[in-house]
Amino acid sequence: MDGLLNLKILVDVLGREPELPHRQAPFKCARRFFIRRNDDALPRRVPDEADAGRLVEAVPGIRVRVHLREGMRLSGLPDRASHGFGVADLRIGADDEDELVEKHHAAGMLDLGLAT
């Protein structure tokens, strides 16, 4: 998936012809998935870098960002919205939509260990 920051495109447009990448990315499509929880909880265990590394190794084209810290209640997260607590997000690259869905399901192996 070719992509640029919106700010870079804006700066390019204001000063010169924008330089947009074309077919230089390793994947044909990409998505960002948010892992949310509706009710407050206390993580029993928070995935560490080793856990994320195992997931990345098992599912190529995935990046994980966990927003929790050990002992932090979800209500203490800064990304709190009316539709829940932002626990983590996954950025997944794939060659097509079916592969994207398969990788998203495989990412379910990341144990967030949430207790209410």
Contacts of residue 101, Cβ cutoff 8 Å, sequence gap at least 6: none
φ, ψ of residue 72 to 5 degrees: the values are -90, 125
The band of 1, judged by pLDDT with boundaries at 50, 70 and 90, is very low
Q: Which amino acid is at 77?
A: L
Which among 59, 33, 35 has a CA at the least distance from the CA of 113?
35
Residue-wise pLDDT tens digits, 64-111: 888 888 888 888 887 666 778 888 888 999 999 999 999 988 887 666
- Mean pLDDT, the chain, rounded, equals 79
Q: Give the pairing of strands 42-43 and 29-37.
A: unpaired
- Cβ pair 116, 39 in contact under 8 A: yes
Mapping DSSP to helix (H, G, I), strand (E, B) and coil, where does residue 109 land?
helix
Assess whether pLDDT exceeds 90 at residue 11. Answer: no
